[in-house]
Amino acid sequence: GRVWTGIGDLDEAAAGRAVLIRGAAQAIRPVSKKMAFVVLRQSMSTVQCVLVASADAGVSTQMVRFATSLSKESIVDVEGVVSLPKEPLKATTQQVEIQVRKIYCINRAIPTLPINLEDASRSEAEFEKAEQAGEKLVRVGQDTRLNFRAIDLRTPANQAIFRIQCQVENKFRDFFLSKNFVGIHSPKLISGSSEGGAAVFKLQYNGQPACLAQSPQLYKQMAICGGFERVFEVGPVFRAENSNTHRHLCEFVGLDAEMEIKEHYFEVCDIIDGLFVAIFKHLNENCKKELETINRQYPFEPLKYLEKTLKLTYEEGIQMLKEAGTEIEPMGDLNTEAEKKLGRLVKEKYGTEFFILYRYPLAVRPFYTMPCYDNPAYSNSFDVFIRGEEIISGAQRIHTPELLTKRATECGIDASTIASYIESFSYGAPPHGGFGVGLERVVMLFCALNNIRKTSLFPRDPQRLVP
Ligand code: 4AD
């Protein structure tokens, strides 16, 4: 076969070389009957192709006319020679041009697309500037973007966001494998709620009531009972709650871990510390291009974090809020506003936007959470925050059937519905703990994006099942 070159690989070193490339026609500019420009795009890269009618190059005026008749976003193949431009190119990522010898349309896009990609790629600042200059530009709303996601995903920022997401997931796996965790897959068709509460998607399982797993919680703990000292899972999580917010999805990707605890549940916090510092470093060092691309459309400040992750008790958090004038019920949960405010206070005082808040009141945690040994009104549990929003919740778990039954009952759960889970702890079960992270939230908050739908490829929220 012929040798194809990726558009992102076209650089000055390729000058003079004959290449074959494929891309989407992002812009088509007729100059005269004898000349036209076509900008081709392949994922995050663009290159300018130049057509000049000339007998020497075998380019006819018909070929130039054919090029100018292409519809935007059509898939186009070009054979040509790489050349250096006379002036720096502002409109393309690649700083070379292609002198076209042959051009083929592989598949035509409809003439008028429901989303204009140029508009969909602009930053808010660009819109404002254009407005001040009296120009009329069309903002593409979130719903329109999601309705036509197959086009919307082509914007440079979206191309970058999902590359970042892939890197976070990969780093998560790498890190756990390096710490002797075993990757598992727990069932997603299960018989009842795993987090307590009623927010599950119900279905029929061969005539038996069932639901989609709210988390791998019960099964990852049973895997620990099954003799795996440390496990992790990457998989879908289903939540049926009717939360129409910027940070809730009905289906998201859960990154979960569960491990034996030898002496103290801070061993779990140490894993989180190592894991997230490694992820942040990796993104900052190895994904510069992606981060810059996101920054161009959605400007953000790099995340502030410490080499050793800050840990504060829940009580200290409440105290900081109190001193700043926010009254909080000391044994209640933090609401979204309080979390945001605490995030700002911690950033001011400790210079970090990533921290662990531990020792939560037992009453606000799920039934499987281990109460504190010294004061059972509190629990061996924690949440982790990025930029004042929760990304992780975790805890030591109860590992004796008696206490587990008691706590389930106190939390209004009929222990007989989770009998096989509770029994698992009567066959010899080590102390253990773990945590769950939402992948979409990590990417959203690392990049300070304002909506979790931006970091879900095809988001599922209470209103959306299509596309
Ligand atoms: O806080 P959650 O519900 O905790 C659990 O599922 C526990 N089983 C975890 C554990 O091991 N103790 O969910 C964990 C994380 C949250 O911190 C958040 O990042 C994410 O999952 N998350 C959501 N992400 C998107 N949409 C939603 N509706 C989410 N609910 C939770």
Residue percentage of the chain with pLDDT more than 70 = 100
- Measure 194 CA to ligand 1 centroid, in angstroms: 12
pLDDT (average), residues 272-291: 98
**C-alpha 214 – ligand 1 centre gap (Å):** 9
Q: Is 441 among the residues known to form the active site?
A: yes
The CA 386 to ligand 1 mean position distance, Å, reads 14
Looking at residue 324, what is its pLDDT?
97
Mean pLDDT of the chain: 97
**Nearest residue by C-alpha to atom 10 in ligand 1:** 435
Cα atoms in the 13 Å half-sphere on the side-chain side of 226 = 15
User: Which atom from ligand 1 is nearest to the alpha carbon of 214?
Assistant: 6
Q: Quick one: pLDDT at residue 3? A: 87
> Separation of 68 CA from ligand 1 center, angstroms?
51
CA 329 to chain centre: 33
Output the CA 223–ligand 1 centroid distance in Å.
19
What residue ranges define each of the domains in the chain, with the CATH number in brackets?
7-107 (2.40.50.140), 117-152 (no CATH), 156-455 (3.30.930.10)
Q: How many whole angstroms from 308 Cα to the centroid of ligand 1?
A: 24
Q: Is 239 marked active-site?
A: yes
In the set 195, 290, 339, 390, the catalytic residue is 390
Active site residue 248: yes
Is 247 assigned a catalytic role? yes
pLDDT of residue 194: 87
Indicate which residue's Cα is closest to atom 15 of ligand 1. 437
The H or E element containing residue 25 is strand 18-32
Answer yes or no: is the C-beta of 339 below 6 A from any ligand 1 atom: no
- pLDDT of res. 403: 98
The finding on whether 392 has its CB within 6 A of some atom of ligand 1 is yes
- Is the minimum distance from the CB of 395 to ligand 1 under 6 angstroms? yes
**pLDDT tens digits for 7-39?**
999 999 999 999 999 999 999 999 999 999 999
Q: Which of 45, 74, 381, 393 is catalytic?
A: 393
What is the percent of the chain with per-residue pLDDT over 90, rounded to a whole number? 96
Q: Is the pLDDT of residue 310 over 90?
A: yes
Over residues 202-231, the mean pLDDT reads 97
Q: What is the pLDDT of residue 163?
A: 98
Name the residue at shortest CA distance from atom 12 of ligand 1. 394
Per-residue pLDDT at 156 exceeds 80: yes
Residue 210 pLDDT exceeds 80: yes
Instruction: Check pocket membership of 248 for ligand 1, CB cut-off 6 A.
Output: yes
User: What is the spatial order of strands in the sheet that 251-260 belongs to?
Assistant: 182-183, 230-238, 251-260, 432-438, 389-396, 381-386, 354-358, 310-313
407 is catalytic: no
216 lines ligand 1 (CB under 6 A): no
Q: Is 438 left (phi over 0), alpha (psi -120 to 50) or beta?
A: beta
| Alpha carbon of 436 to ligand 1 centroid (Å) | 6
Give 165-208 pLDDT, tens digit per residue.
999 999 999 999 999 999 999 999 999 888 877 799 999 999 99
What's the pLDDT band for 334 if we cut at 50, 70, 90? very high
Please list, in sequence order, all residues whose beta carbon lies within 8 angstroms of the beta carbon of residue 391, skipping any fewer than 6 positions away: 384, 385, 437, 438, 441, 442, 445
Label residue 84 by pLDDT band (50, 70, 90).
Answer: very high
**Is residue 100 scored above 90 in pLDDT?**
yes
Specify the pLDDT at position 405. 97
Query: Is residue 2 over pLDDT 90?
Result: no
- Give residue 301's pLDDT: 98
Distance (Å, rounded) from C-alpha 230 to C-alpha 270? Answer: 14
Reported pTM: 0.96
Compute the distance from residue 432 Cα to the ligand 1 centre, in Å.
19
pLDDT tens figures, 386-417: 999 999 999 999 999 999 999 999 999 999 99
Alpha carbon distance 298, 125 (integer Å): 9
pLDDT at 136: 87
Pocket of ligand 1 contains residue 453 by CB under 6 Å: no
283 lines ligand 1 (CB under 6 A): no
The pLDDT assigned to 197 comes to: 73
Q: Which of 79, 126, 241, 315 is catalytic?
A: 241
Give, using CA atoms, the residue closest to atom 5 of ligand 1: 436
Give residue for tokens 């192709």.
49
The CB of 434 under 6 Å from ligand 1? The reply is: yes
Beta carbon of 195 within 6 Å of any ligand 1 atom: yes
Give the whole-angstrom CA distance, residue 380 versus residue 133. 57
| Whether the predicted pLDDT of 421 surpasses 90 | yes
Active-site choice (22, 65, 248, 460): 248
Quick one: CA dihedral 51, 52, 53, 59, positive or negative? Answer: negative
Q: What is the pLDDT of residue 133?
A: 95
Q: Which atom of ligand 1 is nearest to the CA of 215?
A: 6
- Ligand 1: residue of 252, 356, 440 to mutate (most ligand atoms within 8 A of CB) is 252
